[in-house]
Amino acid sequence: PGKSELVSDLVSLSAGARIQAIRSLPMPFNERKTIRLTSFVIIHLCNISNNVNFYLNLNLQHLIIWQDTLKEIGGRFGTSVLSYFLFLKWLLQFNLFSLIINFCFITMPQIVHAPNISSITGFRGLELLTGVGYFNQTVLFYGGYNGEVIVSKPAYNMQLAYFFTIAAYLVLCGVSLIYSICTFSQNLHMEYLPFEKRLQEKNKMSLSDRIKHLSLHLLAWLLSLGLALGSGAGIYFLGTDPELASTLLLPVVVSLINLIVPLLYSLISTIESYSNPRAKIYISIIRSVILKMSILGILCFYWLNFVPDNISCWESFVGQSVYRLLIIDFIFCLLGIFFGEFLRNVIGTMCIQSLGVPEFDIARNVLDLIYAQTLAWIGIYFSPLLPVMQVLKLFIIFYLKKISLSMNCQPPKHTGRAAQIQTVFIALLFFPSFVGVLSMVAFTVWSLKPSDQCGPFQGLDTPFHTIFNWTDSIQDFPESNWVWWIFENILRSELFYYLISLIVLVITYFLWQIIQGRKQLIKTLREQIVNEGKDKAFLLNKLQNLQKERREMASYRPQVRVSRVLSGLTYFLFASSYR
């Protein structure tokens, strides 16, 4: 142990100090030689390890997708524009993960052990837009899977695989979103006091101006909500027609509404005359979210309440509907890049130069990503391979947006801080997007009867009954009785969920108290900064006054001396003349 400690101490020294320390050791020459060789070997191995780690990190950085491209975008257009592309990359990773686990645990076993199906319709090409025909009995949709137990060692239950794969993916998405929100939520606290100051400025307005201001806001919100309700009603009546619902008319109308109504929202916001551009952006985001989520809510209501009673394989019908919505949304996104950015740039630079180069609309582009991701989450249960379309879509959009940004757009003039914008994006993706999708999938699994003619859960009362069948089957195995006991006495107990809800509420309360404490601390620190600034300003004024007085005194003293000299000369001349 003594020699090992000695060697470790020698390794930490420089080369010259190490040699000098070895020479001064009170021990025979052979032992000093052994210690020197040992320290040399250890240093050589450490250098090799450091070099290997350096080159591995360097190569891993090249493997990270779009790293150099993102650095270029951030350097040329700022962190606000970069936040959009980072958000897109984050969604791409979500969908890649979903694609991998769905393909490995659901699709691959089904492909390997699929029954021979000879009645598949020939491929004509139009199915890429509609999702029907050739794709009806493929693994792209719910109807292409069966609930048989694959005979293997060990046996592979497709019902359990389908259920737990989708459930695990949604749980991991929820955990990731909550973690991201908690990580970035501190950025929102910095806006609290400036917002409070803006409210205080509004309170200084006269009563008539305040009434006028509130009336304009109320009118704008009534018009915005009226447009959202009218759009939802139109989608509902269009979707209830079975012939129209199975065509491309419905997704085209939905995409047109998502394109035109936000433009009307921009016109409505002009009558509100926001003094803060950031508030205008956030209000526009809220209105667009209400529009998009109301449309998706109407569609989900139709799919879950009318489709199961009228269509035999209704899960595949819902999956095909979501597929069409994604495809048409992608087409409209491509058209928006061409007409909304390229032609707008041509018009602004060649025809009407007063328009100028268009700005990159971060809010609109991010809301389009959130809308598309919500569709992908809705369809994950009804179409396990739908993430394939989403991955391809995000991959293409990334490069097209990058090219369009470089050639046609300029960075926006008025945006929030990049970290705050990213926090708002993730918060909107979590609620209402993910929470709404989770509610829909939970309702489908717990309450709706699956199709009797297709899918892995055919013949069951609800898809969740596959868990009951599994727990009943494991009772025959004594070593698995603990699983059955946990399921029967804990997971099926109302008391367990009451306790879980109570724990969540307590944790939420403590987190809320922590947030309030941090807000108060931030407020106190800001007040200290303001007071210190006032103190410094006061001291600076005092210093300036003292310097001014000293300059005046310095300019006054020579005048006193000159007057004294003149008076002395006058007295001398007068005395000499008198003599």
Mind listing the pLDDT tens digit for each residue in 232-265?
999 988 877 767 666 788 999 999 999 999 989 9
Across the strands, what pairs with 14?
A: none
Q: What is the mean pLDDT of residues 565-579?
A: 51
The pLDDT of 276-304, averaged and rounded, is: 89
- Residue 157's φ and ψ, nearest 5 degrees, are -90, 110
Q: Is residue 375 over pLDDT 90?
A: yes
More confident residue, 218 or 199: 218
User: Cβ contacts of residue 300 below 8 Å, gap of 6+?
Assistant: 378, 436, 440
CA dist list (Å): 136 to 127, 140, 383, 553: 10, 8, 11, 98
Q: Which segment of 221-225, 322-326, 356-360, 391-395 scores lowest on mean pLDDT?
A: 356-360
pLDDT at 192: 46
Whole-number pLDDT of residue 360 = 87
pLDDT of residue 120: 56
Predicted local confidence at residue 36, as pLDDT: 77
Please report the pLDDT score of residue 25 as a whole number.
Answer: 76
Per-residue confidence (pLDDT) for residue 193, from 0 to 100? 45
| 56 within 8 A of 338, measured Cβ to Cβ | no
Per-residue model confidence (pLDDT) at position 117: 54
Q: 149 pairs with which residues across the strands?
A: 157
Q: Which pLDDT score is estimated for 203?
A: 56
- Give the confidence band of 352 by pLDDT, cuts at 50, 70, 90: confident
Number of H helices, E strands in the chain: 24, 2
Give the range among 40-49, 102-111, 173-182, 435-444 with minimum mean pLDDT.
Answer: 40-49
Of residues 451 and 270, more confidently modeled: 451
Percentage of the chain beyond pLDDT 70 is 85
Top-confidence residue, 383 or 203: 383
Q: What is the pTM of this model?
A: 0.78
Query: How much is the pLDDT for 101?
Result: 95
Average confidence score pLDDT of the chain: 82
8 Å CB contact between 8 and 43: no
Q: Which amino acid is at 185?
A: S
Reported confidence tier of residue 190, pLDDT bands at 50, 70, 90: very low
Helix (H) / strand (E) element for 275: namely none
Using alpha carbons only, give the angle 14, 19, 25 rounded to the nearest 5 degrees: 120
pLDDT band at 449 (very low <50, low <70, confident <90, very high): very high
Q: Minimal CA–CA distance to 258: which of 128, 377, 370, 405?
A: 370
Question: Residue 1 has what pLDDT?
Answer: 45
CA neighbor of 411 nearest in space, from 67, 76, 68, 157? 76
User: Once rounded to an integer, what is the mean pLDDT over residues 97-107?
Assistant: 94
Q: What pLDDT sits at residue 21?
A: 78
Q: Report pLDDT digits (tens) over 377-417.
A: 999 999 999 999 999 999 999 999 999 998 888 877 766 56
The single residue listed with the structure tokens 């209105």 is 287
Task: With cut-offs at 50, 70 and 90, classify the pLDDT of residue 54.
Answer: low
